[in-house]
Amino acid sequence: MIAQKAVFRFAAKLVLSAALLAAGIQASSADAGFRRWVAEFRSVATQNGISGATYDRAFRGVTEPDPEVLEKARFQPEFRNEAWEYFDNRVNENTVATGRQMARQWGPWLDRIERQFGVDRHILLAIWSIESNYGAALANDRVMRSLPRSLATLAYADSRRAKFARTQLIAALKILERGDVSERHLTSSWAGAMGHTQFIPTSYQAYAVDMDRDGRRDIWNSVPDALASAANLLRKNGWQSGETWGYEVMLPEGRKFPGGSMSLSRWASIGVVRANGKAFPSPGRNAELKVPDGRAGPAFLMTRNFFVIKRYNNSDKYALAVGLLADQIAGYGGLVRDWNRPFQRLSFQETQELQQRLGALGYYEGEIDGKVGQGSREAIRAFQSRMGLAQDGHPSKEVLNVLRGR
Ordered per-residue pLDDT tens for the chain, 406 residues: 434 444 444 444 444 455 555 545 555 566 899 999 999 999 999 999 999 999 999 999 999 999 899 888 876 655 567 899 999 999 999 999 999 999 999 999 999 999 999 999 999 999 999 999 999 999 887 788 999 999 999 999 999 999 999 999 999 999 999 999 999 889 999 999 999 999 999 999 999 999 999 999 999 999 999 999 999 999 999 999 999 999 999 999 988 898 899 999 999 999 999 999 999 999 999 999 999 999 899 999 999 999 999 999 999 999 999 999 999 999 999 999 999 988 999 999 999 999 999 999 999 999 999 999 989 999 999 999 999 999 999 999 999 999 999 7
Residue 322 located in a structural domain = yes
CATH of residue 146? 1.10.8.350
Cα–Cα distances in angstroms (integers) from residue 43 to residues 51, 68, 290, in the given order:
10, 27, 47
On whether both 168 and 57 belong to a single domain, the answer is yes
Residue 317 shares a structural domain with residue 359: no
Q: How far apart are the first and last CA of the chain?
A: 15
Buried b (16+ CB within 10 A) or exposed e, 228-254: bbbbbbbbeeebbeeebbbbbbbbeee
Do the domain assignments include residue 1? no
384 in the same domain as 281: no
Structural domain of residue 157, as residue ranges? 10-76+140-194
Q: What is the pLDDT of residue 1?
A: 43
Domain final position from 276, 307, 336: 336
CB of 65 closer than 8 Å to CB of 34: yes
Q: Is 278 domain-assigned? A: yes
Specify the pTM: 0.90
Length of the chain: 406
Instruction: Report the CATH number that the domain containing residue 113 is assigned in CATH.
Output: 1.10.530.10
β-pair type (286-290, 261-263): antiparallel
Query: How far is Cα 102 from Cα 320, in angstroms, rounded to an integer?
Result: 21
Exposure on the CB side of residue 157, measured as CA atoms within 13 A: 35
Whether 305 and 324 share a structural domain: yes
Domain co-membership, 378 together with 270: no
Give the containing element (helix H, strand E) for 193.
none
Q: How far apart are alpha carbons 302 and 299 in whole angstroms?
A: 10
3-class SS at 244?
Answer: coil
Question: Do 260 and 401 belong to one domain?
Answer: no
27 and 150 in one domain?
yes
If asked whether residues 282 and 355 sit together in one domain, one would say: no
Query: DSSP states of 127-185 as a string?
Result: HHHHHHTTTGGGG-TTT-EEHHHHHHHHHHH-TTTHHHHHHHHHHHHHHHHHTSS-GGG
CA 198 – CA 384 distance, rounded (Å): 37
222, part of any domain: no
Q: At 371, which CATH number?
A: 1.10.101.10
Helices (H) and strands (E) in the chain, counts: 19, 7
Number of domains in the chain: 3
Pick the last residue of a domain from 301, 336, 371: 336
Is residue 175 located within the same domain as residue 254? no
Q: Tell me, what amino acid is at 2?
A: I
Task: Answer whether residue 328 is part of any domain.
Answer: yes
Q: Do 246 and 328 have their domain in common? A: yes
The answer to whether residue 150 is domain-embedded is yes
CB atoms within 10 A of CB 192: 26
The strand pairing partners of 274, in sequence order, are: 249
CB 399 within 8 A of CB 383: yes
**Domain assignment present for 165:** yes
Question: 111 and 22 share a domain?
Answer: no
